Structure 1
Amino acid sequence: MQDSFRLWDWPLRLFHWLLAGSVTAALLTGWLGGSLMPWHARLGSLVLGLLVFRLVWGLCGSTYARWGYILRSLAGLPRYLRGQWQAAGHNPLGVLSVLAMLGLLFAQVLSGLLATDDIATHGPLQPLVSAATSDWLSGLHRQGKWWLLALIGLHVTAIGFYALRGKPLWRAMLSGRARREHAQQADARGGRWPVALLALLLAVAVVWAVERLPAHFMPAPAAAAPALAW
Structure 2
Amino acid sequence: MNDTLPHIDTDQLQPIDIDALIHPDDPRHAPRILVLYGSLRERSYSRLVAEEAGRLLRWFGCEVKTFNPSGLPLPDDAEADHPKVAELRELAQWSEGMVWVSPERHGAMTGIMKTQIDWIPLSLGGVRPTQGKTLAVMEVSGGSQSFNAVNQMRLLGRWMRMLTIPNQSSVPKAFNEFDDDGRMQASTLYQRIVDVCEELVKFTWLTRGRAGYLVDRYSERVESAEEVSARVNQRTH
Instruction: Flag the structure with more relative contact order, 1 or 2, with Cα contacts below 8 A and sequence separation at least 6.
Output: 1
Q: Which of the two has greater strand per residue? A: 2
Alignment TM-score > 0.5, same fold: no
Q: Which has the larger radius of gyration?
A: 1
Provide TM-score, normalisation by structure 2. 0.32
